[in-house]
Amino acid sequence: MDRFEYQGGRLMAEGAAVSELAERFGTPLYVYSQETLLTHYRRLRDAFAELEPLICYSLKCCANTHLARLLVREGSGVDVVSGGELFRALRAGADPAKIVYAGVGKTDGEIVEALDAKIGLLNVESISEMEQLAAVGVAMGTRVPTALRVNPDVDPKTHVYTTTGKKETKFGVDLEAAGDVLRRFAAHPGLHIRGIHLHIGSPVNDVAAYELSISRGIEFIAAMRAAGVVLDTIDIGGGFGAHYAGSEAPPAAEYARRIAPLLRGRGLKVILEPGRSIAANAGIVVARVLHTKSSGSRHFLIVDASMNELIRPALYGAYHFAWPVEAGARVPATRAAEQPFDGLVRTDIVGPVCESSDFLAKDRLLPEMKRGDLLAVFSAGAYAMSMASQYNSRPRAAEVLVNGRRVRLIRRRETYDDLVLAEPPDA
């Protein structure tokens, strides 16, 4: 379980007891393990080392500047998708040359900010956006470093909401149309077109989907080179898996073993944009049981965490393993739903938000829990806090980072005043 392990029946985050963190900082609470975060980053870096890639941590998955700074210090670049993420990346100390900026819609203002910061690459997703970038480049008297996001029409076999590499999604330009776009803009004085960008979805546990999309990308680059359009960069995106239920995500070494041979020796600068595979298993959400109740055949645990803190179950029907922080003799061996203990109760874990979609888990066999007990929801380092909301005017939870026995509050719990901060009292 990475560095969230049960010792003597108690859940630890590295050297800190999770129950003590909950006492000290309150609940709901995000707890991150520094060692787990860095381990996942280093595994990926080492696995792909032969390609000397630029690894750009995908900030959208977990945007806390303190976490990003840890990765930046390891040499990571940052993948951003908005002016706000660019702001965070720079605040985390990222080298602008190692920042890539993606996304289907950027405002002129955001593009100017990115160029002022001298970031390394902007990924473009449509002809209209190529025209926009070219115009801003000309107006600023510069050639915008650009990659064209191509849509390889590959099914990543993941949730439909996080599928991006199929033709019918809004992302990228079809491979058939991409050649014309590049030929048309290759010599534009406002652009320096460096290469192509591919990102097929997230999470993608099927390595064959990468093989197919990268092969198509390589073929496309070769065809463009033959036609006189020089491309020196391939950004293969992110999407590598993480463990939610057990060890279902291929290890970094397996992705690299099958992807690297396609890319080596081609004179291409390789960029990776991993998020989830680095951060997901490095965080948990800790909640306290407010109430238990039964209704018909259903047994509910009503906890103080909700879709505000972790929207993935509501949005994608995502599975997150959940278990008591104080497990006693019932220490789970994996994150799978089936655990080999007697007397478990079939339970729905729900939050206080006024929506039927506000659940963290359904139909789980759990030890009986009572009011006041603590529950951990695992694999919540990615797309948890970064998708948090204040819906129902619930202040966002605090984030703490554990490094051995050292504990740092890296984002304080929001207050009621924070809820109304942007609403001038005298408007």
Chain positions contacting ligand LLP, by CB under 6 A: 58, 61, 79, 102, 162, 199, 202-203, 237-240, 273-277, 312, 316, 382-383
CB nearer to ligand LLP: give 262 or 387. Answer: 387
Q: How far is the CB of 320 from ligand LLP (least distance, A)?
A: 10
CB nearer to ligand LLP: give 79 or 358. Answer: 79
Q: How far is the CB of 33 from ligand LLP (least distance, A)?
A: 18
Closest by Cα among 378, 374, 309 to 2: 378
| Structure-token match 């995106």, residue found | 237
Q: How far is the CB of 21 from ligand LLP (least distance, A)?
A: 24
CB nearer to ligand LLP: give 276 or 288. Answer: 276
> Which residues partner with 195 through β-bridges?
147, 233
Question: How far apart (Å, rounded) are the C-alpha atoms in residues 305 and 351?
Answer: 6
Asked whether 67 and 279 are in contact (CB, 8 A), the reply is yes
Q: Alpha helix locations (H) across 155-194?
A: 175-185
Q: How far is the CB of 41 from ligand LLP (least distance, A)?
A: 12
Q: What is the 8-class DSSP label of residue 280?
A: G
Asked whether 31 and 11 are in contact (CB, 8 A), the reply is no
Asked whether 29 and 380 are in contact (CB, 8 A), the reply is no
Residue type for 45, please?
A: R
Chain centroid, CA 200 distance in Å: 14
User: Could you say which of 56, 61, 62, 354 is catalytic?
Assistant: 354
CB nearer to ligand LLP: give 188 or 194. Answer: 194
CB nearer to ligand LLP: give 106 or 312. Answer: 312
Question: How far apart (Å, rounded) are the C-alpha atoms in residues 142 and 188?
Answer: 11
CB nearer to ligand LLP: give 316 or 391. Answer: 316
Question: How far apart (Å, rounded) are the C-alpha atoms in residues 105 and 92?
Answer: 24
Q: How far is the CB of 61 from ligand LLP (least distance, A)?
A: 4
Q: Is 61 a catalytic residue?
A: no
- Region for 182 from its dihedrals, namely left if φ exceeds 0, alpha if ψ lies in -120 to 50, beta otherwise: alpha
Q: How far is the CB of 82 from ligand LLP (least distance, A)?
A: 12
CB nearer to ligand LLP: give 190 or 237. Answer: 237
Question: How far apart (Å, rounded) are the C-alpha atoms in residues 359 and 301?
Answer: 10
Which helix (H) or strand (E) element contains residue 288?
A: strand 283-295
* Three-class DSSP category at 125: coil
Closest by Cα among 405, 387, 401 to 29: 401
Asked whether 351 and 333 are in contact (CB, 8 A), the reply is no
Q: How far is the CB of 239 from ligand LLP (least distance, A)?
A: 4
CB nearer to ligand LLP: give 22 or 200. Answer: 200
Distance of CA 39 to CAs 152, 178, 282, Å? 31, 37, 9
Q: How far is the CB of 205 from ligand LLP (least distance, A)?
A: 11
Q: What is the 8-class DSSP label of residue 204?
A: B
> Which residues partner with 375 through β-bridges?
287, 324
Residues with a known catalytic role = 354
